[in-house]
Amino acid sequence: MKTISEVMTTDVLTVAPQATLGEVARVLRARNVGSALVVDAERKPLGIISERELVDSVAASRNPDHGLAESWMKAGPQTVRSSTPISEAGALMRDLNVRHLPVVDGGRVVGVVSIRDLLSAALLDA
């Protein structure tokens, strides 16, 4: 059975809690990814900010260069370990209605897994 370690992205986009939403949007676009992990100085996950939170902030008429990641992030996101089976992570994503899960081992971010990663793995196995 495949585990998250086999499909996760290890080049994780992280931002500081004080990053503005505009900064987050620009790095998401530059890296062509759908989320960034908000981490402290020791790379411990504080939250996740995705396209969904950016849309919410715009819908609330917030200026993206004034809103902070820490104010709009989804705090305390559900995480998985790199040893988590892919099927378990997929079920978790479905149940939580999320498209990204931080991968944390030993209290530190080591990767992120997206629904796209899981779909790619499933298609390769088919």
Q: What is the pLDDT of residues 90-103, one digit of tens each?
A: 999 999 999 999 99
Q: Tell me the two tokens of residue 84.
A: 């988590």
Judged against a pLDDT cut of 90, whether residue 112 lies above it is answered with yes
pLDDT confidence of residue 63:
77
What's the whole-number mean pLDDT along residues 65-72?
Answer: 88
| Residue 34 near residue 51, CB atoms below 8 Å | yes
What mean pLDDT value characterizes the chain?
90
pLDDT single digits (tens) 15-30: 999 999 999 999 999 9
Cα gap 35→38, rounded to integer Å: 10
Integer Cα distance of 69 and 17 in angstroms: 5
Handedness of CA 89, 94, 95, 100 (dihedral sign): positive
pLDDT of 25 reads: 92
What pLDDT sits at residue 95? 96
pTM over 0.95: no
* Fold (topology level) of 4-125: CBS-domain (3.10.580)
Which tokens belong to 115?
Answer: 């629904």
Q: Which of 56-65, 80-89, 115-124 has the highest mean pLDDT?
A: 80-89
Contact 69, 91 (CB under 8 A): no
Q: Is the pLDDT reported for residue 126 higher than 70? A: no
